[in-house]
Each structure stands twice: as C-alpha cells, then as structure tokens.
Amino acid sequence: MVSASADATEPVVPSGDGGFAASEPGDITRLRLDIAYDGTDFSGWARQPGLRTVCGEIEEKLSAIVRTPVLLTVAGRTDAGVHASGQVAHVDVPTAALPDDPSRWVRRLARFLPRDVRVTGISVAPEHFDARFSAIRRHYEYRVTTSAYGAQPLRARDTVSWPKIVDLDAMQRASESLLGLHDFAAFCKRREGATTVRELQRYKWTRDGDILTAHVSADAFCWSMVRSLVGAALAVGEGRRTVEWMTALLDERERAASVAVAPAHGLSLVGVDYPADEDLAARNVATREVRGPIVPGCC
C-alpha cells in the first residue's frame, strides 16, 4: 500500500514549527487555533519578509499577548488570495502565560487582529496533536458564477465570474473520473523532491441558480492542485475539452500545459478532519512516510 504523504497542503508544505524557546518540556502547552480569513489582501498564509501574510499577522499579535515570540504550524498553507473558514493551526506557548480558560484569548485577539482575519477558537490540544501531520482530510470549496453580470458585489471577493454556458453534467462526470489514489502530477506545480500522489476522496459540483460550487476533499493537496482541477473541469464544461481528456491527465507525470489554473479568489479552505485523540500519534507517523510513485497496472 502507498503510504500517506508528509507534503500535505495546498499549495505547499507549511512553514513554522509551532514552537518557542522553552527551557524544559514541561514549560509549554500546545494550543489548537481555529482560523478564518479573507485572503484577498494577504500574500498567502506563510510568513514572508516585507509582505503581509495571515501567519505573520496572527504570530505578531499572539506573541504580544504571550510576551514571547511564537510560531504557528498550519494544516493547509494557502496561496495568495485564497480564503479560509476552517483553517487549523497549532502553537506551543509558555504554560505560565495561559489563562485558566485559553478560549478567553479569542476575544482578546479580536481586538488586535485586522478585520480580514479571525481566530474563531482556541483550546488546549490533545496529546500528540499536530495541525499538519495529524490531519486526515482537507476540504476546499471553489465558487464560480455564470451570471452575465458577474459576481454579486457582496461575494465578489470569493466568487469567480465565468459568464459562459457550461455543461454541469459533463463537469461532474469528468470530476468523478479522478476520484481515488492517483499521481496528480498533471495538476500540480512542480516542487523538487515532493510527491504528487494523492487520494482524491470527493470532487462534486453543485448548482444554486447561477452559482456553481466545487466541493473538493482529499487526504492532502499539492501546489495548485485544487485550482487546476477546477480549471480543467471548467474547460470540459465549456466544451473545449472532453471528459476523456481530463481522465487521461492521470497518466501524465509532469505538469500539463493544457490545464489552466483557476483564479485564486474563488478558493476557500472550509475544513480539516482529524482522527480520534487516541489515533493521533499513529497518524503522525503515517503522514511522515513519503509516498512512492504509482506503478501502472498495480494496486
């Protein structure tokens, strides 16, 4: 069986070790943070010198509260312009700095953080919890409107305007053909040493009037994978490509130039799943095992 991958994020591996300079192991407590943000004005999640990032904003404000520098580890590192309503991170903080109820910091952070990022929950993490390595599934949604006038003004920052006639049934058939454990190299921007083998567990399109939403879930995602999956499906929906073309992309072992990457602002990370507390340690070990290549005709 192909093992789980440590490269488990969209678009790339998260930075940060979730720690701080503690003198002894007993000095720290690990917290789980639930996070939401509008990614429009951020240069992505990961801290970058001189750029405004989600991680940078939260680390700066939380470090001020804790009174020592802290680092976040995230479940899924999102790219510039990508949003989140269900992001998860962990951070190690000095135990002595914690209030009796860590959730009290939610209100305190709300006073310091900018309006486009919120920490919606803070709790003491169970033993062995790791926001990145413990995750068993990430859920994304991608919003598109086919309305002639484009996106509604109140949703323009998270909905891509695609004023074209599309065949949703063809898009659904093409999307379903990709489900399962495959090498998604055709849909991923290359990153040296990183595997592109993923288990796509859900790829479903729904319609609500002029709004089309792609619901995409997998154990992990590689760089630009979700946006490439959406771009390919839209090409099928427009009739520029066939269902068979999209399925055949699974045989490619390099990034496919024929696959367009959909705009970032339609994408949102909406949830991360974790196993039961007693299974966290085993999951961490399994995720760190790098997946090997898919052998044609095998498994």
CB 120 within 8 A of CB 34: yes
- Per the structure block, which two tokens stand in for 199? 């288990």
CB 8 within 8 A of CB 293: no
| Nearest-angstrom CA–CA distance, 154 and 174 | 31
The question of whether 79 is a catalytic residue gets the answer: yes
CB 22 within 8 A of CB 94: yes
CB 129 within 8 A of CB 30: yes
Maximum Cα–Cα distance across the chain: 61
Cα–Cα separations (whole angstroms), residue 7 to 178, 196, 276, 293: 20, 9, 22, 14
Cα–Cα separations (whole angstroms), residue 57 to 1, 32, 123: 40, 17, 20
Query: Which member of 38, 79, 92, 130 is catalytic?
Result: 79
- Identify the CA nearest to 147 among candidates 131, 166, 134, 130: 166
Cite the active site residues.
79
